[in-house]
Structures are given as C-alpha cells and as structure tokens.
Amino acid sequence: MQRRDFLRVVGTGAAVVAVYPSMIGQTLYADDGQLYKAYEKVQLVGSDGSPIKASTLEKEKTYVFNYPHVAAPCFLINLPEKADSEVKLKSEDGIEYIWSGAVGKDSSIVAYTAICPHQLTHINKVDSFISYVPKAAKTMAYTEGGVIVCASHLSAFDPKRGAVNLSGPAPQPLASIVLEHAKDDTLWAVAVLGQDKFHEYFKSFRSEFKEQWGGKRKAKKLVSFSAPTVVINEYTKDVIQY
C-alpha cells in the first residue's frame, strides 16, 4: 500500500497510539498535523463493473467517480510525471496536514474532491466548471497547465502537490481522496484527507440533488463496495475551461 500505515496521535497521559486508517471512523486531528477522515473502503470500477487497473489509466485523462457520498464527485488523474511526496498543506481553518503523495507504479495517480472550496463549484451531470487542464494546454488561471482549474473564479490547484491552491480566491487545497493501490493493480478509495466542504455542499444544492439524484437524502448516502469510474465526458455533458 502506497500510503502511510498509521497516524500517530497523542492520547491521555501523552501516550503515543498507533491508529490504523481503516479503523478510524471520525475526523482526526493528529499531533503530526494530519487531518484524516476514513470511510468504507470502496473499489474503483468501470461502468461495466470490472475493476479499474492502475496500469490502464491514460496519462492526463480525467476520470470521475463519487466518494464518499453518492453525489460527491471526485477526480482521478494519472499525472504525466511523478507527484511530490510529504507535502505540508494548510486548511482554511489554519490546520496543517501532510499529503503523503500519489499511488501507482510511477507514483503519479491522484484523486481529489471535485468541489472548489471557494464557492463550491463542482462537476455534475449537466456541466463542469472545474476540471484538470493538461500540461501542454493553456489556462487563464495560471502561468502553465498541469493544474486543476475552477473556471468560475479562476482558482488553480496543483495536483502534483496535494492540490495546493496556486492562484485565485480558493482559501485552501482541494480535499484529497486517499487511494490504496493493491498488489493486483486495483485501486481503492479509503478516506478523505484535508478539510472537506461536504456539509456546505449538501446544504447549498437541494434542487440539483432532487433533479439529478432523487433528493438530498439519496445524494448524501455513503458509497458502498464499489464506485463506478468514467472519463469526465461520460460523466457530464459539458466541460467548461478558461
């Protein structure tokens, strides 16, 4: 598994306790600066239900899946080069945490929530004003490509460095989806790292959830067992980039 095996937390009496992520069921503010929330371990699968293999993901093609909620969209991207590791990030509340890096043979596969922390612009079934801009492409939001851009207010995030915000009004990085890369080359979503915006998100888009997901309650349901994963143009009708 290409992620940290445990989080160290200080408990009563300043004892150091090893807490395995798969056993954590609540938000955890650790002494080493990590913010981590575990959910059910879910396998990423294709639209036909077959397991997604890390080695088959095309470089710089954006894939979309939903996690940890049925209507919480996420990006899955195989970057053109190795991502950084042990990146120190800071949430909007000033909490520091560590993004340990990408997974896959080339340490280039990353996943992030597709919800901008500025004003909750997100990808849905109709359109997407937030998307990955390939390295060779241009964007108004930043000096170079290879970034995730929110076209609503031109915030740019660096997927190589934990989706840290590079420009624009976004107050923090995108929350990261913690992935596990198994020995059989399959991919699993296991947790959310960083300060997510799920509470505000589900509070703000009631009409959308009713139209696209059958209501807020169904939209908030937690994903179980597997998460269908498709290229972005199969998930949404229109991708807007600037």
Residue-range domain boundaries for the chain: 40-84+105-239
Q: What is the pLDDT of residues 108-157, one digit of tens each?
A: 999 999 999 999 999 999 999 999 999 999 999 999 999 999 999 999 99
Residues 6+ apart with CB under 8 A from 10: 16, 17, 31
pTM of the model: 0.87
Determine the pLDDT at residue 35. 87
Query: 40-84+105-239 has which CATH code?
Result: 2.102.10.10
Which residue stretches of the chain have pLDDT < 70?
A: 1-34
- In the numeric block, the tokens 């807490």 are attached to 19
For residues 46 and 230, give the distance between their C-alpha atoms in angstroms, rounded to a whole number.
6
Per-position DSSP letters for 23-70, written without gaps between them: G--S-EE-TTS-EEEEEEEEEEE-TTSPBPBGGGPPBT-EEEEE-SBT
- In the numeric block, the tokens 């589900």 are attached to 202
For residues 238 and 242, give the distance between their C-alpha atoms in angstroms, rounded to a whole number.
13
Q: What is the pLDDT of residues 201-219, one digit of tens each?
A: 999 999 999 999 999 999 9
Determine the pLDDT at residue 34. 60
